[in-house]
A and B are shown apart, each in its own frame.
Chain A
Amino acid sequence: MQMRIEAGNTLRHVFVQRKNGVYEVTIDGTTHHVDAVRIDPATLSLVVHDAAGGRRSLAAALSPGGAPGAVDVHVAGRRVPVQVQNGSGLGRRREAGATGSGPQRVLAPMPGKVVRVLVKPGDAVTARQGLVVVEAMKMENELRAARDGRVKDVSVVEGQSVDAGTVLVLVE
């Protein structure tokens, strides 16, 4: 599962998959191994595995923030405002920049390999149209346009390995 989550004014590309009984959550290329158990509709118990073999136990409670897609996360003694984009459930907001302006940079959410490029420069694209398919952790992820526009640049080719955050396509 793939989503975009904004925290601290930074948009993060997040990819989640379940592996060996724990969740692998990749945030902008950094993978976290987390055991998550739901306590109640608003509360999760998280056990975050760290690189040194440690196990950090945290309670995280979520409550709706002021705006659509806004979530207040109560974790580690803080209330962290978070904006969920293109998510289901709490995130009812439309894709980032859907109503904004300026060029849209489509980034690789995680390290992986470009398996398909679906557009070429000059193509007209509509919101949510697939642009590039990136394979990571044995999953294919289709990256889509946030809004209607025209492809200005395609910076990758099929078969190319990319790091998290690499610009794949520019749509304006």
Chain B
Amino acid sequence: MPITKVLIANRGEIAVRIIRACRDMGIATVAVYSDCDRAALHVRLADEAWPVGPNPPRESYLRIDTILDVARQSGADAVHPGYGFLAENEDFAAACRDAGLVFIGPSPEAITLMGSKTAARQAAIKAGVPVVPGTEEPLGDDVPDAEVLRIAEGIGYPLMLKAVAGGGGKGMRMVATPDELPGALRAARSEAGSAFGDSAVYLERRILSPRHIEVQLLGDHHGTVLPFVERECSIQRRHQKVIEESPSLAVSPALRRAMTSDAAAVARTVGYTNAGTIEFLLDEDGSYYFLEMNTRLQVEHPITEMVTGVDLVRWQIRIARGERLTLDPETLLIPRGHAVECRIYAEDPDSNFMPSPGRILGLRVPHGPGVRDDSGTYEGGEVPIYYDPMISKLITWGEDRDHALARMRRALAEYEVRGIKTTIPFFLWVLEDADFQASRFDTTFIDRKLGARQGAPLQAIDADHETLAVLAVALDQVTRTPAAARPAASRSLWTSRARHDALR
């Protein structure tokens, strides 16, 4: 089915990213916007722009009915959901299909299936892919301690005791040794019972120092699923990825073969199409476990693009219009150089990452060899309070990891955002860390390192910085005199132009 006009049901940098891919392919674009996004970059760059409602996402970017109305009125024949908002909403994918629109993503059935943690786990098991060892059946009140101890022995310590109906850490206990189990079991059951009305629990192996490794996949409608070289996403702050890189230094070529073919196997088991990502936990001993599948384009997709040369969004569209995946599977698994991404947020890293929305008064974006800035904003643009505070993804590429990191340091130092606070100083600090540089980290790295700082400012200001700032302010005042503001050269140009006009 041909795609001639794509409605992008999103905002910010990802809407801009998709608009650019469409433009590359000669496909028209339709942007949607909430009230406060009228002047947003994605609106400015799209061929068409339609309002979809007030600022709260529930009243605009999450309104399936309004967005489908816009698709019909604008004559769009396809919809790209981006990530977040409606990207993993099976009702939206189904509504698009029912309305005769091509949904640029997986089928609603695949979204439903892989959206369920237990169903996804079953799919992995069916594909012969390891999952975090644990009990498959709930352990109710009637299961005696001796039986639980026996099961625990089979899983191995340390382990996590979790409420089946759990959430928010309630009914969750870490158990390091067998003698801790009976007490923890009583506590977890009673907590789960009072919190959820269901005291059933289950056991899961606790992976002490895991890395988060994920595998990008593309699947076409002709049965082909291709995995890409892995992404290393262990650098997380409060379970939110902040720095990603590809490849991972913790993944050997042999491990890469195993993980990527397992990832593809899970996707094939469920007949997955379009772009998706399988997330794994990688243990220190090299064993890995299926964690979950993301049924959408990922925020960090550019690092994969940088090391494979593949435009993933373009392929999403090509797959959606029925094309076959003609990429060479071998080249997708051999990274060309190394890529790193920093997610730049409008947050103040020195005030516990408090959001810092507002107007961007000044913006200097880094350029030069190996630098890519996927931004959703511009100088003079507004960072609204209603949405995710990520303003840009800064990506660098290098011949190897050190080269990519050096370029990232250079690009971050060139990056200047005035008017709002950003996490740029936080990234400069992480990049200086010896353990990070040596790739010695797991998913707890950032929270541990930040905790150890005990609130010390990320970038100390010394006497030299103060002197330079005072010099700058003083010279700013001096050069702000009327003469400086209106240089003689330009004045005389105007004068001569006026004379010229008068004499005509």
Stretch from A68-76, A119-127, A131-139, A143-151 forming part of the interface with B = A68-76
Q: Is A117 an interface residue (CB 8 A)?
A: no
28 examples of A-B residue contacts, CB within 8 angstroms: A1-B478, A3-B474, A8-B466, A18-B478, A23-B478, A25-B474, A27-B467, A27-B470, A34-B475, A36-B475, A36-B478, A38-B484, A42-B418, A46-B468, A48-B468, A60-B468, A60-B472, A61-B362, A61-B364, A61-B416, A62-B473, A63-B418, A75-B472, A82-B469, A82-B470, A88-B477, A90-B473, A90-B477
Are the C-beta atoms of A58 and B468 separated by less than 8 Å? yes
Are the C-beta atoms of A78 and B465 separated by less than 8 Å? yes
Within 8 A of A (CB), among B381-425: 413, 416, 418-419, 421, 425
Are the C-beta atoms of B479 and A74 separated by less than 8 Å? no
Are the C-beta atoms of A91 and B477 separated by less than 8 Å? yes
**Interface class of chain A by DSSP:** strand
In addition to A42-B362, A62-B476, A63-B361, 11 A-B residue pairs with Cβ atoms within 8 Å of each other are A1-B478, A25-B471, A34-B475, A46-B472, A60-B476, A74-B362, A74-B418, A75-B469, A80-B468, A84-B473, A87-B473
Are the C-beta atoms of B418 and A27 separated by less than 8 Å? no
Q: Is B461 an interface residue (CB 8 A)?
A: yes
CA distance A71 to B472 in the complex (A): 11
When distances are taken between beta carbons in the complex, the residues of chain B under 8 Å from A88 are 477, 480
Are the C-beta atoms of A76 and B419 separated by less than 8 Å? no
Q: Is A89 an interface residue (CB 8 A)?
A: yes
**Interface class of chain B by DSSP:** helix
Residues of A participating in the B interface, judged by any CB pair closer than 8 Å: 1, 3, 5, 7-8, 10, 12, 14, 16, 18, 23, 25, 27, 32, 34, 36, 38, 42-44, 46, 48, 58-64, 71-80, 82, 84, 87-91
Residues of B participating in the A interface, judged by any CB pair closer than 8 Å: 361-362, 364, 413, 416, 418-419, 421, 425, 428, 459, 461, 463-480, 484
A17 → chain B, closest Cβ, in Å? Answer: 9
Are the C-beta atoms of B478 and A82 separated by less than 8 Å? no
When distances are taken between beta carbons in the complex, the residues of chain B under 8 Å from A44 are 472, 475-476, 479
When distances are taken between beta carbons in the complex, the residues of chain B under 8 Å from A79 are 421, 425
When distances are taken between beta carbons in the complex, the residues of chain A under 8 Å from B421 are 79
Select A63's contact among B419, B459, B463, B478, beta carbons within 8 Å. B419
Smallest Cβ-Cβ distance to B350: which chain A residue: A79
A24 → chain B, closest Cβ, in Å? Answer: 11
Known: A48-B471, A74-B416, A80-B461. Contact between A43 and B478, CB under 8 A? Answer: no
When distances are taken between beta carbons in the complex, the residues of chain B under 8 Å from A71 are 473
When distances are taken between beta carbons in the complex, the residues of chain B under 8 Å from A16 are 474-475, 477-478
Known: A58-B468, A63-B419. Contact between A89 and B475, CB under 8 A? Answer: no
Select A80's contact among B362, B428, B466, B475, beta carbons within 8 Å. B466
Are the C-beta atoms of B464 and A63 separated by less than 8 Å? no
CA distance A74 to B424 in the complex (A): 13
Are the C-beta atoms of B465 and A80 separated by less than 8 Å? yes
When distances are taken between beta carbons in the complex, the residues of chain B under 8 Å from A23 are 475, 478
When distances are taken between beta carbons in the complex, the residues of chain A under 8 Å from B467 are 27, 32
CA distance A46 to B475 in the complex (A): 9
Known: A63-B362, A63-B419, A74-B418. Contact between A46 and B471, CB under 8 A? Answer: yes
When distances are taken between beta carbons in the complex, the residues of chain B under 8 Å from A72 are 418
CA distance A115 to B271 in the complex (A): 91
When distances are taken between beta carbons in the complex, the residues of chain A under 8 Å from B473 are 5, 62, 71, 73, 82, 84, 87, 90
CA distance A87 to B476 in the complex (A): 11
CA distance A44 to B419 in the complex (A): 17
When distances are taken between beta carbons in the complex, the residues of chain A under 8 Å from B364 are 61
When distances are taken between beta carbons in the complex, the residues of chain B under 8 Å from A8 are 461, 463, 466
When distances are taken between beta carbons in the complex, the residues of chain A under 8 Å from B468 are 46, 48, 58, 60, 73, 75-76, 80
CA distance A23 to B470 in the complex (A): 13
When distances are taken between beta carbons in the complex, the residues of chain B under 8 Å from A84 are 473, 477
Known: A74-B416, A75-B465, A77-B413. Contact between A27 and B471, CB under 8 A? Answer: yes
